[in-house]
Chain A
Amino acid sequence: MKSEIFTLCSPRLSEGYLLMKYALKRAAAGLATILIVSFLTFAAFSLISGDTATAMLGTSATPERLAALRAELGLDRPLLVRYGEWLLGFFTGNLGVSTSYKQPVWEILGAKFRLTLCLSLMSFVLITAVSIPLGLWSAGRRRFEGARTALNQLGMAVPSFFTGILLSWVFGVGLKWFMPGQFPDGKEDFAGAAVYLFFAAVALSIPRIAMTVRMLRSTVQEELGKDYVRTAISRGNDRGQVLRRHVLKNALPPVVTFLAQTMAEIVAGSIVVEQVFVIPGLGRMLVSSIAGRDYPVVQAIVVILAFWVVLAGTAADLINQRIDPRLRIGGAA
């Protein structure tokens, strides 16, 4: 009903209405995913929550003391109640208290989150800036295709921690452009911190660049084989015009989705890279918390990362919906 009224007013308005409806739907779905993930991890961790009390008091604590601590921490209440409380806390900025550091989780994570965010964004920009031109260039070339594929496979085979070590060796120890293992404070030495992060971002990006180039190349080549390209040529377009006017737009949706997944993979990769370069970010915190069984911290980080991943995916979906009218629910008026 409403959409018809809008159609009467103007086709643009009804298009906008449908887009908004779709966006809200997508946002709701994303929110649901985050809720499910956070609940599952919360439930899983609470199965072993006895360990939290044990972790805090040590294995020599008496059963009475453990029970008392559990009651104090509220660990003996029903699961849903505890989850609800946690959820409420999440939205109000209270993420619980770290069992290792005895500090509010949010305080501990704040600066680390910003750092990992910087690293991730730097990496994403690097990947996009390198792989898109490279991928497009590669798609047009036919010669040495085998060699380029082999090189691509090599790029995907090098783990980021190995690249990190190599970079540390060459640029850190060798050329002394940065001191491996000593991440400078951003406030004091911004340039130094930026350079340091840059090398970490490079280590992180290389395998993903290889994968993106490969993906772009195959997508563009697939599009080039389609009928509308032949039609475009029959109208007198030259190669560049065909690419710019038709192929690029059509090749975009799968690439956009892939880039969203890239964002997720960067998140995962940063866990390892932060370890290699000793960067005090979220990833490093996650590892040490897992080793130390600090579940409030692990829970919080997992949900933050989940949020990040879902955000990237939703953004990609919305962008694709804008590009490809066929994906719009109900079709554009």
Chain B
Amino acid sequence: MLEIRDLHVKFPGRDREAVAGVSLSIRAGEILGLVGESGSGKTVTAMSVAGLLPRKQCDYSGEILLDGKELLHADRAELRNIQGREIGVVFQEPQSALDPLMKIGPQVEEVLRVHTSLSREERRRQAVEAMAAVELPEAEAVYEKYPHQLSGGMLQRAMIAAAVIAKPKLLLLDEPTTALDVTIQAQILELLKRLNRESGVSMLFISHDLNVVRKLCGRVAVMQRGLLVEEGEAQEVFHHPHHPYTRRLIAAIPTRKRKEGGA
């Protein structure tokens, strides 16, 4: 469904490429985890897929195909058509990623407003439905609230609702749980698993935490300094890492977590 072929991205003023030749693929209904430290290029890769790469300010090459449609070199109008409708994005810090002066409800239904001509009532109905589906209690009340009135966990659920409301093919998640408490983290991961099961939406889950990725993802890819160093089934990679870098990442996980996780 999604194919990244030999992606290169270089920003001016930096010595090395941010992404130095990465090839990945995601099948329909699959959850792929992309792991790496900061600076590994995982976020840039994801942003390239989402069409959020500042193309005028960097050098890039390669191909990104969504069901055969090329995205990396597509023009703005084509990209806009896909953004929100076929690809949804969930960002790391929900407090800053949402417009502080707009109520939650209108933000959740925004994709519908941009891409469809549904009536206001219909959009509202779907938004409330989407919020209920992500387990937001009292969705009708939450619809009227502002971002600063909700907790991090609830905001992130709202972001997820906003990203999946138009039933996209692919959901990009850039460290969505990093800013949350551990208990909330677990809940969100469960939610994502359920969404994937029920609707079949593919996911690209980015994290620096290999442990979190192991709980959620079917397949895992490891990046280091712009290059893909390891790829495979999550359990395989975790128990039998090939690349020394992967081994170091796993070793860095505190022992009890390492033994616990991956149920």
Contacts and interface: CB of A to CB of B under 8 A. Distances in A.
Nearest to A326: B148
A115 interface: no
B118 interface: no
29 contacts: A227-B96, A228-B96, A228-B98, A228-B100, A230-B52, A230-B91, A231-B91, A231-B97, A231-B99, A232-B99, A233-B52, A234-B51, A234-B52, A234-B88, A235-B84, A235-B114, A235-B162, A236-B82, A236-B84, A236-B111, A236-B115, A237-B114, A324-B101, A325-B146, A325-B148, A326-B146, A326-B148, A331-B148, A332-B146
A246 B102 contact: yes
A252 to B, nearest CB: 9
Q: Is the interface of A mostly helix, strand, loop or mixed?
A: helix
Nearest to B162: A235
Contacts of A226: 96
Interface in A232-246: 232-238, 241, 245-246
Interface residues of A, number: 24
B50 interface: yes
A236 B146 contact: no
A221 interface: no
Contacts of B84: 234-236
A148 interface: no
B80 A250 contact: no
A234 B172 CA distance: 10
Contacts of A227: 91, 93, 96-97
Contact of B101 (A233, A234, A238, A323): A323
Contacts of A332: 146, 149
A50 interface: no
A332 B103 CA distance: 12
A176 interface: no
A181 interface: no
Contacts of B51: 234
Contacts of B110: 232, 235, 237
B77 to A, nearest CB: 8
A150 to B, nearest CB: 25
A214 B182 CA distance: 45
A210 to B, nearest CB: 28
A211 B61 CA distance: 43
B2 interface: no
- Which of B88, B89, B91, B100 has the most chain A CB atoms closer than 10 A to its own CB? B100
A324 B100 CA distance: 8
Nearest to B111: A235
B85 interface: yes
Contacts of B148: 325-326, 331
Contact of A326 (B81, B88, B89, B100): B100
A236 B91 contact: no
B67 interface: no
A11 interface: yes
A249 B162 CA distance: 21
A316 to B, nearest CB: 17
A231 B80 contact: no
A97 B99 CA distance: 56
Given A235-B162, A250-B99, 18 more contacts: A11-B144, A227-B93, A227-B96, A230-B52, A230-B97, A231-B89, A231-B98, A231-B159, A233-B52, A234-B84, A236-B81, A246-B99, A246-B102, A249-B101, A250-B100, A324-B101, A325-B148, A332-B149
Interface in B9-52: 50-52
B215 to A, nearest CB: 25
Interface string A200-227: 0000000000000000000000000011
B149 A236 contact: no
A332 B147 CA distance: 12
B97 A228 contact: yes
Contacts of B202: none
Nearest to A231: B97
B101 A236 contact: no
A320 to B, nearest CB: 11
